[in-house]
Amino acid sequence: MNKKVYAIPEPGISNPITFNSKICIGCNICVEICQVDIFIPSPEENKPPIVLYPGECWYCGNCVVECPKPGAITFNPLLMNRVHWKRKNRSEG
């Protein structure tokens, strides 16, 4: 007997990873490399994986580094970790 299994992404958490479905080839290297298994492969062939557990991401960036298709996967660092450089105005204290 075949059983259906449903997987629903964790709600209410900002997504640490974004895929570009026009570039991603669905090789699932990022799925394999993630040490906390936040992704599952897409049920559709050659499509980007699904981010199932965004709250588990360690923000290590390994999935982006190992992806063979530049631009297919983008890392979205936590807001507090985004650095915005500003030229120092030497006339100010």
Interface contacts to ligand SF4, rule CB under 6 A = 16-17, 19, 24-30, 33-34, 36, 38, 48-49, 57-63, 67, 69, 72-73
- What is the widest separation between alpha-carbon atoms in the chain? 76
CA separation for the pair 55, 52 (Å, rounded): 9
- By beta-carbon proximity to ligand SF4, the closer residue of 45 and 92 is 45
Residue 55 one-letter amino acid: G
CA separation for the pair 38, 51 (Å, rounded): 6
- By beta-carbon proximity to ligand SF4, the closer residue of 22 and 90 is 22
Shortest gap between Cβ of 12 and ligand SF4 (angstroms)? 18
